[in-house]
Structure 1
Amino acid sequence: MTTTTSRGRGRGRRRAPTRIERAAGRAAALQKPRVILALLLLLALTSVMLLDGYLRAEVGGDQRVRTGASAGDVPDEVLDGGPVLTFRGGRATTVSVPDKTIALTFDDGPNPTWTPQVLRILREYDVPGTFFLVGSMVSRYPDIVADMVRQGEEVGIHTFTHVDLSYQSSARVRREMTQTQLALAGAAGITTTLFRAPYSSETDAIDDYSWPVYKELGEDGYTSVFVDTDSDDWKRPGVSKIVQWATPADGKGASVLFHDAGGERSQTIEALPAYIKKMKAAGYTFTTISGVLQQQDTAAGDAPGTAAGQRAGGLQAAHRRASGVTLYEGKALVAAVAVAEWTVPALSVGLMVVGVAVMGRFAMMLLLARRHFRQRNRRRFAWGAEVTRPVSVIVPAYNEKECIANTLKSLAGSTHPIEVVVVDDGSTDGTSEIAREAARSLGMTDVRVIRQDNAGKPAALNNGVRAARHDIVVMMDGDTVFEPDAVHQLVQPFADPEVGAVAGNAKVGNRDTVIGAWQHIEYVMGFNLDRRMYDLLRCMPTIPGAIGAFRRDAVLEAGGMSEDTLAEDTDITIAMHRAGRRVVYQEHARAWTEAPGSLKQLWSQRYRWSYGTMQALWKHRGCLTDRGPSGRFGRVGMPLVVLFQIVTPLFAPLIDVFTAYSMIFIDFRASLLAWLAVLGVQLVCAAYAFRLDREKYRYLLMMPLQQLAYRQMMYLVLIHSCVTALTGGRLRWQKLKRTGEVGTPAGATR
């Protein structure tokens, strides 16, 4: 055993921060804002979807939902009065529609199919109408409302979500009214004083539940409008019935109810011209609700009236010009809804494409993994003549005092002749001393411990490659333990002269915790199943740092392990492809590694992995136009990595958000079944991966929880990495805390 030191260290001085510690400090200062930005992006998209769902509370039939309630608190003059209820001077007053007069009203709009047809009929017959609009529909179809107001029609509020206000809190009532006023302001630049409650009918139906609502709104200046003649067109009884039911008896005036939304309204569209012609022939005139009030004022000598209740300038008397904050907030609401209306359908199409791609990937993984397993496990399969010559095992180590002894102990039991090169990358915890003592106690004579100033893992690996005595170098992490035959199995593919690098089978050793079990599932399914597929396609993107082997000359020809990226394992693997070397997966070479034991450490590790992968792909983007093996990776491997390791996972959280959206706002049962079906497909893939790796299935019981919790964190990590990349951020190596709980392979539990 020998020890080499690259540079001596002074004593008696305060230790200066290492390169990693300094870089980690800088990264930590920049990391939090980017995490916040990533979360804000996801939150913004979620908010857009929630807004869209809130607006999609579609209006159904306007049938009454409550009858027979007490009306002891309602004044008799209101119960027996006309259909227009005002609170002028603080006193409840009802107004009836004059004889031979029709106040034509429409509920539940606007609707993009039926409302324009109603407006066309009113314009054709020169008849005014009063439309009681649902705020959510106004915000979705603002152009229709703007046309309505320009045409001279009158509008009123029918709440924002078509909810029965009788059972709502005072705050909810005010919110429903305010939101609808904002929608009107944003759509047509006006507000209104007219209100009709959903599920209301004639004034004699007012009860002790609804009366406080009308009083409260009356005190706020609203005029509540009821019905005294109902066409019941929502029942679709036929055109003749609609016309008949909408006709007042004995020449009386009436507030007549039709619907321009809330269902299929073709009978309404057909009945409306016939009704107008019939009533005009009978000597009736048409007006708005404001017109009714102005006629009453004129009759009382209060004020002169104008046609259809309009003020000078064509604005209906019930309308007010929106200005100031109300106008700007209204326009902002309409703009936000427009974004939501565009985003959700586009998202639906995009997620459908992603879903098809994911299902296609699962199918391809299963087929190619099965083919790979059967090909590599045939009785007569061999890479060539058995490789028995010694190899060099390089162990980069930085503050690995908890793990380095176990690592060397596992190498001491290797069935293949090896030399071990431990490169201490400026450790401050006595790693090199522990390594020397462990090698001495284990009787390992061919172990060298090289110390260098802290320069990072790539520099440590390069130092080890230069110091290696053999033509094949095995690289492992300082927290990893090898099974006895791992090295022997790992180097057998080098019997094929085309092979330049080999990826081993990394296993999670600390899998008995929840986080460890989640990572165990990911390693077996997400990593090793992928590697089988990539192996057959000859476009393996990454040789794991925990267990991988290279031809020494190939590494040196590629310029060594690059410090350009944080994913030096991905970087060197792509470099192997570009140099025309074949990269394969050896499933029988197993190593046990200590996975991060906390969510914080897991975030740090995966953040570095995903960001480093992006760096490596960008660095080697030139292979997209290369020829030969390099071009093969560029046109097969790189698109697969980008699609399935960046793009698809980036959209995957939206699948979950969209699933929740569908459960809440569309169809809970169908959405739940779809989610369970996808989970079932993933379980099948995971079970097959576990079978190939001869793992116990009990860990799959954690998979549903993994999908609900662990996977979401991985999505956020990827979003965080993308934000860092797009904002030009730089990330450096961050040391993970180790416990040393992964012992020798014999002690690892499957």
Structure 2
Amino acid sequence: MTCGSAAVRSGVPLLAFVLVTGTGCGSSDAGSAPGHTTQAASSSSASSSASSPSVRPTSRPAPSTPVITSVPTTSHGPSPTAPRPPSSTSSASGSPSTTSTQIPARLAGVDWDRIPTTRPVVALTFDAGANADAVPSILATLHRYGVTATFFLTGDFVRHFPDVARQIAAGQRIGNHSVDHPYFTKLTGTQITAELTGARQQIQSTTGDDPRPLFRFPYGDRDTRTIAAVNAAGYVPVRWTVDTLGWEGTAGGITAQTVHDRALNALRPGEIVLMHCGSNPTDHSTLDADALGGVIQAIKDRGYGFVTLDALTR
């Protein structure tokens, strides 16, 4: 999922384990069952946004009341399977065969959409890919409220906006979002390795920060094989509890109030909020940035604090 205009389509975006459902950036996990950890599924479809720009999410989540203990389902999602730890040897499917960074076994086989905690904390996350129009406002707001967030950057974003990437890294947590935002279920194991390695090298050489172990699948598109592949490369994939849909812009019928309400309606311990750092390409709105201050204040007023996604791996 990417942070920007047509950015990642989430909809199209840890106490309990549940099975993987949709494949869109927000897929239907964001709307149909926020607050779950999602396990690897046997397959993942991204057909709902095949005609969308490379940085748009794949589908819009269907609104519903999140339930922590239920298993989310979608009409287009894959059939779930049990979680599978990453393999240390290459498979017939072409998954990477080695790993430079081991992840804890308890985190393997899952595309996490909630931090497993009972503490009243929220993780704000921003996907960056298409443009950096909203970054100055977002960083200023985070600084004003004393909040540290997690930003998932593509290698292309860092290459096109190196100064912005360094500004983000100066005070925020950085995660890997691939080089150029492809559908991972369409890639071979070799291509997956190239995406992960290329983005990490671009991020690290530009900002000095190693994004590992945090990774977010572009479009939220993943399956059992791809989750195992990124695990083997030393990454923990992180989805979201709710997609604010700010990336859809006013052209998509979204307002800053929509962003605010979606973030607050899904509030629960360990919530992961998906926002974007770019402007909408059609109307040039930056709704996530516009609503951010109000969202942070409202979450604080309800007794919650903020953490980065490093809280997931501790």
Instruction: Give the alignment's TM-score, normalised by structure 1.
Output: 0.28
What is the correspondence of 1:351-370 to structure 2 with a 5 Å cutoff?
none
Which residue in 1 is equivalent to 2:45?
A: none
Correspondence for 1:260 among 247, 261, 277: 277
Report whether the alignment pairs 1:145 with 2:162.
no
CA distance in 2 between partners of 1:135 and 1:106 (Å)? 15
Q: Does 1:166 align with 2:185?
A: yes
Matched, 1:271 2:291: yes
Does the CA-based 8 Å contact 1:98-1:292 persist in structure 2? no
Question: Is 2:59 the counterpart of 1:64?
Answer: yes
- 1:251, CA displacement in angstroms? 4.0
3-state DSSP of counterpart to 2:264: coil
Corresponding position of 1:118: 138
How far has the Cα of 1:101 moved from its partner? 0.9
The residue that corresponds to 1:213 in the other structure is 226
Partner amino acid, structure 2, of 1:61: R
Secondary structure of the equivalent of 1:156? strand
Contact 1:228–1:256 (CA under 8 A) maintained in structure 2: yes
- Specify the SS of the correspondent of 1:199: helix
- 8 Å Cα contact 2:181-2:218 kept in structure 1: yes
Distance apart, 1:215 and its partner CA: 0.8
Identify the match of residue 89 of structure 1 among 70, 89, 105.
105
- Aligned counterparts of 1:110 and 1:119: Cα–Cα separation in 2: 17
Distance 1:230 1:287 in 2: 18
- Quick one: which of 286, 294, 301 aligns to 1:281? 301
One-letter identity of the residue aligned with 1:197: F
Distance, in Å, in 2 between the alignment partners of 1:262 and 1:174 is 30
* CA distance in 1: counterparts of 2:204 and 2:53, whole angstroms: 22
Q: Compute the displacement of 1:109 (Å).
A: 3.9
* CA drift at 1:96: 2.3
CA contact under 8 A between 2:131 and 2:157: conserved in structure 1? yes
Residue 210 to residue 142, structure 1, CA distance change in 2 (3 Å): same
Whether the aligned pair in 1 keeps the contact of 2:242 and 2:274 (CA below 8 Å) is: yes
Query: Within 1, Cα distance between the matches of 2:267 and 2:157?
Result: 37
Alpha-carbon distance between aligned partners in 2 of 1:97 and 1:233, rounded to the nearest angstrom: 27
| 1:367-516 mapped onto 2 (5 Å cutoff) | none
Tell me the residue number matched to 2:218. Answer: 198
| Change in CA separation of 1:230 and 1:262 when aligned onto 2, cut-off 3 Å | same
Contact 1:110 1:141 in 2 (8 A): no
Tell me how far 1:276 sits from its aligned partner: 0.6
2:247–2:286: 8 Å Cα contact kept in structure 1? no
CA contact (8 A) 1:239 1:268 kept: yes
One-letter identity of the residue aligned with 2:81: D
Give the structure, 1 or 2, with the largest relative contact order (CA under 8 Å, sep 6 or more): 2
**1:239 and 2:256 equivalent?**
yes
The residue identity in structure 1 corresponding to 2:186 is Y
1:122/1:128 contact within 8 Å kept: yes
Output the CA distance in 1 between the equivalents of 2:261 and 2:299. 11
Q: 1:162 to 1:248 in 2, by over 3 A?
A: same
**Structure 1 residue 260: Cα displacement:** 0.6
Q: Answer with 1 or 2: which has the greater Rg.
A: 1
Flag structure 2 segments of 5+ consecutive residues without an equivalent. Answer: 1-51, 61-73, 85-101
- 1:324-359 CA distances to partner (integer Å, 9 max, x unpaired)? xxxxxxxxxxxxxxxxxxxxxxxxxxxxxxxxxxxx
- TM-superposed deviation, 1:268: 1.6
Residue 105 of structure 1: how far off its partner (Å): 0.3
8 Å CA contact retained: 2:132, 2:279: no
**Aligned counterparts of 1:250 and 1:98: Cα–Cα separation in 2:** 12
Secondary structure at 1:246 match in 2: helix
Structure 1 runs not aligned, ≥5 long = 1-56, 77-85, 201-205, 295-750
2:149 is equivalent to residue 132 of structure 1: no
1:155 aligns with 2:182: no
CA deviation string 1:505-533 (max 9, x = no partner):
xxxxxxxxxxxxxxxxxxxxxxxxxxxxx
Counterpart position of 2:236: 223
What amino acid does structure 1 have at the position aligned with 2:181? H
The CA deviation string for residues 625-648 of structure 1, in whole angstroms up to 9 with x for no partner, is: xxxxxxxxxxxxxxxxxxxxxxxx
Give the letter aligned to residue 71 of structure 1. Answer: S
| 1:97–1:103 Cα contact (<8 Å) kept | no
> How far apart are 1:223 and its partner, in Å?
1.0
**CA pair 238-127 structure 1, distance change in 2 beyond 3 A:** same
Contact (CA 8 Å) 2:129, 2:156: kept in 1 or not? no
Using the size of structure 2 for normalisation, the TM-score is 0.63
- Residues 229 and 248 of structure 1 are in contact (CA less than 8 Å); yes or no, is this contact kept in structure 2? no
Secondary structure (helix, strand or coil) at the match of 2:219 reads: coil
1:87 deviates by 4.9
Give the distance between the partners of 2:132 and 2:124, measured in 1 at CA: 20
The CA distance in 1 between the partners of 2:267 and 2:160, in whole Å, is: 41
More helix by share: 1
Is the contact made by 1:60 and 1:262 (CA closer than 8 Å) also made in structure 2?
A: no
Q: In structure 1, how many angstroms separate the alpha carbons of the residues matched to 2:207 and 2:138?
A: 18
User: Contact between 1:74 and 1:211, CA under 8 Å: does it hold in 2?
Assistant: no
For residues 58 and 71 of structure 1, do their structure 2 counterparts lie closer, same or farther at Cα, with a shift above 3 Å needed? Answer: closer
- Checking the alignment, whether the CA contact within 8 Å between 2:125 and 2:149 is kept in structure 1 is yes
CA-based RMSD of the aligned residues comes to 2.9
Task: Name 2:313's counterpart in structure 1.
Answer: 293
Structure 1 contact 110–133 (Cα < 8 Å) conserved:
no
- Structure 2 residue matching 1:190: 3-state secondary structure: coil
In 1, the alpha carbon distance for the partners of 2:244 and 2:119 equals: 18
Deviations 1:431-461 (A, max 9, x none): xxxxxxxxxxxxxxxxxxxxxxxxxxxxxxx
Query: Structure 1 residue 63: deviation in Å?
Result: 2.9
Cα distance change on mapping 1:75 and 1:139 into 2, 3 Å: same
Question: Is the 2:109–2:224 contact (alpha carbons within 8 Å) kept by the matching residues of 1?
Answer: no
Letter in 2 for 1:70: P
The alpha-carbon deviation at position 143 of structure 1 amounts to: 1.1
Do the aligned partners of residues 67 and 168 (structure 1) sit closer, same or farther apart at CA in structure 2, a change above 3 Å counting? Answer: farther
Alpha-carbon offset, residue 73 of structure 1: 3.2
State the Cα distance separating 1:219 from its structure 2 match. 1.8
Name the CA distance, whole Å, in 2 between partners of 1:164 and 1:269: 26
Task: Tell me the CA shift for residue 246 of structure 1.
Answer: 1.0
SS in 2 for 1:258: strand
Q: Given the superposition, is the C-alpha separation of residues 230 and 282 from structure 1 closer, same or farther in structure 2, using an over 3 Å criterion?
A: same
Shift of 1:58: 7.1
User: Which residue is 1:183 aligned to?
Assistant: 202
Question: How many Å separate the matches in 1 of 2:266 and 2:203?
Answer: 35
Residue 471 of structure 1 is matched in structure 2 by none
Give the secondary structure class of the aligned counterpart of 2:143: helix
